[in-house]
Amino acid sequence: MNSRTDLLPAQAPLFLGIDTGGTYTDAVLWSEAGGAKGQEGRGTVLAKAKSLTTRHDLAVGISGAVDAVLEKAAVDPARIKLVSMSTTLATNALVEGQGGRVALVMIGFSEEDLARDGLKKALGTDPVVFCPGGHDVHGNAGVLDLAALEAALPELAGTVSGFAVCSYFATRNPAHELAACDLIREKTGLPVTSSHELSSKLGGPRRALTTLLNARLISMIDRLVAATEGFLGKRGIAAPLMVVRGDGALVSAAFARRRPIETILSGPAASLVGARHMTGLDDAVVSDIGGTTTDVAVLDKGRPRLDPEGATVGGFRTMVEAVAMRTFGLGGDSEVALQEGVLDPRLILGPRRLVPLALVGMAHGKAVTGELERQLRAPNAGRMDGRFAFRTGVPERLAAGLGSSEARLYASITETPQPLDALLASNAQNATLNRLVARGLVHVAGFTPSDAAHVLGRQANWDAEAARLGAELFARRRDGRGQAIAATAEAFCERVLRALTRWSAEYILETAFSEDGLDGAATVAHALVQRAVDAHPGIALLTVALDRPVIGLGASAPLHYAGLPPLLGNRCVVPEDTDVANALGAVVGQVRVSVEARVSQPREGLFRVSSGDTIRDFTEEEPALAAAEADIRAIVVERARSAGTDEAEIDIARDIRASTVEGQRMFIEAHIVATASGRPRIAV
């Protein structure tokens, strides 16, 4: 690696990319200079490294990866002029149902609105406060009454980690949201998210959902940014810190701290940028397999397809503009389970992530393997065999608001893994444990595809003995006929890895069918892959082929994607630096932010401009449009500076709706968007 650095100009700036995933933290050191033969203009990867993500203290995993990169490249840290980070933490948290407990404040809504857009499901047992108020479609105010909120704040201040505020038609007039936020900050000092800051789109319940999820993620992203900034300071790296958004654009760390919901699909978006950069392919299906999720998206003419309706993660459709990425709960650390109640049970992978037995065995040794050996000595397989629970190590304040049964169980769980067959006394306690996992307070360890790879010698990062013991426990489980599900641990592990490849093919096809607008995508994809792997496919022969290659990303892609071509009818390209695609994509992107304004006509001859936090009225159309454009141009310049670029190009787009009635033009509404884009500022 040293020779690569030596070939660069002495003053060439270096860029550090970091990706903090659910399992691994990756780091890559890159320079715009150089490039392999035939790949000029793509820069040079000087060094890359991985370290385990340490959720209890993210700085540990970050420092492990970055220190390894600096050592490999043998460079002065002061030469690093930009640090950029992508992360799957927010995505994984939503897929796994994790996040802090927050209070939702809804102004001008009723309880019936909770039933729309999955809001009630997302809210779960978190508190909600309803207050009269809100505005109409033209921004005219109703009567605001925050008495219910003020009465609830003393109790909520000690039981939640933050607040989400959504007011009726706040996108047309945010005054009532701002008033509620001011009251909450004054009385509690806790973080507050208001819906108008996150989206200018109509649709109150979905905007409330987006705001709720944002509030839940604030503490998680705050810890990530704080850990990274603290580490960089200790290493003498005085460079701006950027974060990748879900649409692939870069924003400053301070910007991401306020709007963490925009980092959902951050890692996958960065991987798309990295995939295009590494392969030069303009048209491809990109499948990125990590520890927790598989993310599948489409590249068209060198650009990722965006989802104009908003990103869907964990079953929730948000208002966050992001790449048109489908996220599936399938990865190297997916839970391996057995279908119940059938003669020939199939393996079920995910969507929950478990800590692999090989990993927890490496960290805790005999405390894990000794318990696995004890379970193997039992005459019959147990339902909880091979499962352990232990605390994640998050701050105690994040355990606020636990119910009595949850608090009792949480108190009995330590940072040393405990076997579930000894920890839990009933199935009811298993449900309680799952709630603690959903809150991000407890990890569950168990058998995963990563363990299967360790048993078969195809992965050697962690403790293979713990993985083997887990495989032996699983292999002796019985099917509906009373027969062992596998003859040997190795046979069971081969079955697990085949299942992962097959499920990967199904998810890639499902994405392709959905992008083509076909109904029943999941059912058709399952049937096609089933026919492809069956020894006796049946009378009707079915084949399918993608019209473009697959780019396989992720450290385990070479292992799990080798068998994809015959299932998908096209080649699968796995780039050399596929294991750090996210980290590389993080440093080759651009800052891009946008601001919207609307001009409406509440009555003839009155043109109302809604831009930023202000409402203004005009008597003529053109001055109103000009004022709206001037407003958002000034706002987007400031927002671009806040997002991390000083040399942004500004693009203004107008969409004016009008009709003609009896030969007369009638103005209806105008939507104006200002977009600023540019390379991030670097340290001098």
Q: What is the H or E stretch that residue 649 is in?
A: strand 649-661
Beta-carbon count within 10 A of 603 CB? 7
Q: Where are the beta strands (DSSP E) in 404-480?
A: 418-419, 442-446
Cα separation, 218 vs 260, in Å, equals 6
Q: Tell me the Cα Rg of the chain.
A: 26
Q: Half-sphere exposure of 214 toward its Cβ, with a 13 Å CA cutoff?
A: 31
Query: Strand ranges (DSSP E) for 303-439?
Result: 303-304, 306-307, 312-313, 316-317, 322-323, 326-328, 334-338, 347-353, 355-356, 388-391, 418-419
Residue with tokens 């306690």: 429
Instruction: Report the distance separating Cα 456 and Cα 440, nearest Å.
Output: 31
Report the candidate in 37, 143, 80 with the shortest Cα–Cα distance to residue 587. Answer: 80
CA dihedral 336, 341, 343, 346 (to 10 degrees): -20
CA gap 67, 77 in Å, rounded: 10
Give the whole-angstrom CA distance, residue 75 versus residue 237.
12
Q: Is the dihedral of CA 303, 307, 310, 311 positive or negative?
A: negative
The strand pairing partners of 355, in sequence order, are 445
Q: What is the DSSP string of 151-200?
A: HHHHHHTTT-SEEEEEETTTTT--HHHHHHHHHHHHHH---EEEGGGT--
Alpha-carbon distance 633 to 615, whole Å?
A: 16
Residue 106 CA to residue 111 CA, distance in Å, equals 9
204 DSSP assignment? H
> Which stretches of the chain score pLDDT less than 70?
1-11, 34-41, 56, 520-524, 526-527, 531-538, 540-541
Q: Is the Cβ–Cβ distance between 410 and 401 less than 8 Å?
A: no
Distance CA 504, CA 564 (A): 8
* Secondary structure (3-state) at 99: coil
Rounded to an integer, what distance in angstroms lies between the CA atom of residue 357 and that of residue 470? 7
How far is the C-alpha of 43 from the C-alpha of 28, rounded, in Å? 12
Residue 533 CA to residue 501 CA, distance in Å, equals 11
Within 248-310, where are the H helices?
Answer: 253-258, 266-279
In this prediction the pTM is 0.71
Q: What distance lies between CA 413 and its chain's CA centroid?
A: 28
List of residues 6+ apart from 27 with CB closer than 8 A: 16, 17, 18, 19, 48, 49, 50, 51, 62, 65, 66, 68, 69, 580, 583
pLDDT at 535 (0 to 100): 55
pLDDT for res 627: 95
Q: Which residues is 328 bridged to in the sheet? A: 294
Confidence (pLDDT) at 34? 62
DSSP code of 617?
E
pLDDT of residue 338: 92
Report the pLDDT value the prediction gives residue 1, as an integer from 0 to 100. Answer: 36
Instruction: Extract the tokens encoding 273.
Output: 């940028």
**Residue 376 tokens, joined:** 């193997």
Quote the tokens at residue 563.
């068998």
